[in-house]
Amino acid sequence: MVGTSYAADGEPQATEWSGGRVLNLGGLPGSVFSAATDINDPGQAVGRSFVGATQYAVEWSGGDVIKLGGLPGAVSSVADGINDSGQVVG
């Protein structure tokens, strides 16, 4: 399961709960907020990471945070779901 936890400093962080463990997924470099919205069976998670006031769609996979981008001309993006084949929707 994925979602958001609020750290002692008040900064929300994308979080994964699995097998009795809690994992801080983190965010993009310089991130002030991150939130995970979905995870697939292979363990890839998606959501958003805010850098300043801009949110970026991201994927967490194999310990990495990957910026997914957006449509041409978009100023922000968010990923809402991921299927078991790794296709992302937002």
Q: Taking the alpha carbons of 5, 6, 9, 10 in that order, is the dihedral positive or negative?
A: positive
What is the count of structural domains for the chain? 1
Residues 6+ apart with CB under 8 A from 18: 1
Using 50, 70 and 90 to split pLDDT, how confident is the model at 78?
very high
- pLDDT one-digit tens code per residue, 30-73: 998 999 999 999 999 999 999 999 999 999 999 999 999 899 99
DSSP 23: E
The mean pLDDT value for 15-33 works out to 94
Cα 54 to Cα 7, 20, 28, 36, distances in angstroms: 21, 33, 11, 16
Joined tokens for residue 38: 């979905």
Print the domain residue range for 81.
2-89
The answer on pLDDT for 11 being more than 90 is no
